[in-house]
Amino acid sequence: MAPTNKKEFPYSIRDLTTKDVDQYNQLLRYAFQVTEQELMEYGWESEEIKQSKFPIIERANILGCYDEDKLISQFAVYPLKMNILNQTYEIGFITSVSTYPEYTGEGIMSRLMKKSLLRMKEKGQSLALLYPYSIPLYRKFGWEIISSKISYQIMDRQIPANRTAEGKVQRVDWENEDFMKLHTQFAKQTHGCLYRNSLAWDEYWRWTEDSTQVAIYYSKGNQPLGYLVYLLKEDIMYIKEMIFLNREAKDGLWGYIHAHDSMIDEVRGSTYSNEPMAFDLDDSAIKETIRPYIMGRIIDVPVFF
């Protein structure tokens, strides 16, 4: 029998536990170049930074590759749900994909990816999503762009001035029940929207500045119909998210934005490519930039269709 030249894989692969939180953080910071000093500028203490990762390790499915006891590569999957053409699908959202550079080119990430995809299929997750750091790389593994985002920049003079609604806008705290329920309602009626569980909400707020505000539009009958998540900084309103269940809420939120026109020079934010901002403004000469947003890959074709 001819000898084989196939080299034995020299590392071990296993699930991460809370005992691995320090190495998990170290690898993430190295890969994405986030320093503890930068995090502390957002008001985080050292122990808080460490503790914030425990829920991820406990509730997400994270595979790690180890060189003896050293974590050298990791691949995390968040179990989430998504509205696809008014049907709810179990999906896996891939994140925290990282490898120390001295271990690249050894097929480690390919092994972690294949093992994770098989696990997702076993759990009934028929679709895998991710934010790509390299579109060509993930295309090689079967992913394709499934959504794009539009970043917009609106000068103060371009903010709609004639939007009125019978209801009112009220600022609330981040944990407000109406706020979270609104997103669930929005997801139920919006194709391609992810439902946010507690883990997704934790990630939504992670590293967000403390001065970020949440404002809810309530109808005349006190029904919550839309919300705005925003930050006022250096004469700019940064809109993190704006959702509405109907036109009334949309007009009410634009009226609220316009109420800030004496405080700001411009509004910056993003929306999805099927909701272009310019068509909804009287002055459409705004700056819009389209960029790829999420890539997806069907894991289990019979289940998905």
Delimiting residues of CATH 3.40.630.30 domain(s) in the chain? 12-130, 150-292
pLDDT of residue 259: 95
Domain 12-130 matching CATH 3.40.630.30: the answer reads yes
Q: Select 150-292's CATH number: 1.10.10.10, 3.40.630.30, 3.30.70.2860, 2.40.160.150.
A: 3.40.630.30
**The predicted structure's pLDDT at residue 33:** 67
pLDDT of residue 5: 60
Tell whether the model's pLDDT for residue 139 goes beyond 60: yes
Indicate the range of 32-36, 72-76, 112-116 predicted with least confidence.
32-36
Of 264 and 162, the one with more pLDDT: 264
pTM of the model as a whole: 0.86
Q: What pLDDT does residue 35 have?
A: 47
- Give the whole-number percent of the chain exceeding pLDDT 90: 70
pLDDT beyond 80 at 3: no
pLDDT (tens digit per residue) in 66-78: 999 999 999 999 9
Q: Can you give the pLDDT at residue 277? A: 81
pLDDT digits (tens, 9 = 90+) for 169-215: 999 999 999 999 999 999 999 999 999 998 899 888 877 888 999 99
Q: What's residue 43's pLDDT? A: 41
pLDDT at residue 162 in the model? 83
Average pLDDT value for residue range 131-160: 92
Convert the pLDDT of each residue in 36-56 to its tens digit: 444 434 343 444 444 444 457
Contact 215, 230 (CB under 8 A): yes
